Amino acid sequence: MTSFPLTFSAEVATARKNGTPIVALESTIITHGMPYPQNLEVAQQVEADVREGGAIPATIAVIDGELHIGLDPEQLTALAQAKGVAKLSRADMAVCIASGGTGATTVAATMIAAKLAGIAVFATGGIGGVHKGAEESFDISADLLELAQTPVTVVAAGAKAILDVAKTLEVLETQGVPVIAYGQDSFPAFWSASSLLKAPLRLDSAADIARAHQTRVAMGLPGGQLIANPIPKDAEIPAGELAPVIAQAQADATVHRITGKGVTPYLLQRIFELTEGRSLTANIALVRNNARLAAKIASELAT
Ligand code: PSU
Ligand code: MN
């Protein structure tokens, strides 16, 4: 364990004392992934889903230079409404903490925080990946390299079609990250339950996923696992319907010369606008679904 100071919410502190399973949740999805007030409603709902699944939620963020593991309701509300919050990945986290800043954690930064706090399971919507045109831009999310080195099981709904999904899977393979589809062969495509790509691995129960996690730890393998959990069928949007919207959002990003950390938030916001909120409805359903599976995996790890 670490001597680095962490600030635990009362609920998470109690869970740690009692050995109650804990699920980490990221905060960039709140500050940069969804508009207010839906972002707050979703954050609260996802926390409730984790509790219903028998685990305790630990939403992670840096507030005034403190790394918070679990936010109280007031902190969550303030973060959801805050403007100009920094987006923190592996590269930015320590600078933000050292300078007393406030920032939301991406998948990469949330994994780092979860490891520091001894939390093995983390639920989110979608991970960052290899962007389309990466052969020119070199835009590859730090999330992929984090999965290769930090031993946390991340439950996501696959990768968005804003990314080059095939290249994303290639990088994960190169980095030795197990990409495990839950309950199906196809690699899920975020808003759609399946894609044309086959997932490299498949497991059909939370118990099996927990066992795979423990086996990696026992073998001394440093990285995590990516669990690709398909969106519930009744909430999915067919991939064909979204393809032109994504193309439009990408064209707009090029016109406005959006680069670096701004790319993912820009595309998500633009797709939300272009679908008149429909993308968000699906996004909410899949994040909640991931929270429920993560709670089951965390419960299995605790037994
Ligand atoms: N993908 C989504 N929703 C999100 C993100 C990604 O479908 O909210 C956020 C996550 O926090 C992820 C980050 O870790 O964007 C990736 O950003 P980048 O591509 O800049 O690494
Ligand atoms: Mn990027």
Ligand at shortest distance from the CA of 108: 1
CA of 106, nearest ligand number: 1
Q: What is the pLDDT of residue 238?
A: 87
The mean pLDDT values, 10 residues at a time, for the chain of 303 residues are: 85 97 98 94 98 98 98 98 96 97 98 98 97 94 98 95 94 98 96 94 98 97 97 92 93 94 92 92 96 98 93
Nearest residue (CA) to ligand 1, atom 16: 128
- Tokens matching residue 53: 């699944």
Whole-model pTM: value is 0.96
CA of 200 to the centre of ligand 2 (A): 24
From 115, 160, 261, 296, active-site residue: 160
Q: Contact at 8 Å (CB) between 78 and 104?
A: no
Confidence at residue 160, expressed as pLDDT on a 0 to 100 scale: 86
Q: How far apart are CA 74 and CA 258, in angstroms?
A: 33
- What is d(CA 25, CA 181) in angstroms, rounded to the nearest whole number? 20
- Closest ligand 1 atom to residue 129 Cα is 19
Q: In the prediction, which pLDDT does 290 show?
A: 98
- Residue 128 neighbours by CB under 8 Å, 6+ apart: 106, 107, 108, 141, 142, 143, 144, 163, 264
Q: Which residues line ligand 1 (CB under 6 A)?
A: 26, 28-29, 33, 89, 106-107, 125-128, 141-143, 160, 261, 264, 268
Secondary structure of residue 31 in the 3-state scheme: helix
The residue type found at 183 is: G
Beta strands in 157-200 (DSSP E): 179-182
- CA distance linking residue 300 with residue 303, whole number of Å: 5
